[in-house]
Structure 1
Amino acid sequence: MTTNRQDFDQCTASVLRLLYERFPNEVDVMIEDLTEDKELNDNYFATMRFLRRENLIYYQELDFSNFKRTVLTAKALSILDTTPDDIDTNLAQQLIDSNKIAIIVQNIIKLAA
């Protein structure tokens, strides 16, 4: 069983990766598409709302568990394009390539503050 924080990290990584790869196109993000485990739906729903409150994503409408026309904000894009001093690739590429999702998400949230 995973913790809420692990669920948050996994959802954040999935959403940011999806939106970065599709940027600047708007995407309908459905919670059911992010996880097969229905028990995680509440945590993933809360994560999406958190990302919006922190101005990392924008969605035009919420229809049940479908976040319609979701896109990265300029703030999120700037953070994801950041290349940490000790690493050769930007944070977005690390999300795409890495299994160390928790560390990368923590860096993203820290930069968003």
Structure 2
Amino acid sequence: MAHPPSSLLNPRRKRAGLPPDAGCRSDSQGLLPGPPSAYRRLAAALVLRAVLDARDEGPLLAAPARRWLLDGGLHWAEQLDIPSERVVRWAAGLEPLPWEQLELSLFED
């Protein structure tokens, strides 16, 4: 399966005539091998998976995904040039989880 070009993740790069990886932060600690585009694909995959999980009807999956999105996920979204306010607004628009089920997921080990 082919990955979308980086310009799809940030159309401003394409309009500005910049190469797909221009201005991307590379992994300065050497934890992620490969070019910055690989780092962006990883960030996109993490954020997309969390978004899909946050929309799940089961609170055992949705509650932790929502917490992650509003905590560490904001950093990953910013790596994709997605404003954190946009992520917060999107999460606020999700249907609330039933409290009885959500309570169980909060105390799960």
The normalised TM-score by structure 2 is: 0.32
Tell me which protein shows more strand as a share of its residues: 1
Q: Which has the higher contact order (CA 8 A, sep 6+)?
A: 1
Q: Based on CA coordinates, which of the two structures has the bigger radius of gyration? A: 2
Normalised by the size of structure 1, how large is the TM-score? 0.31
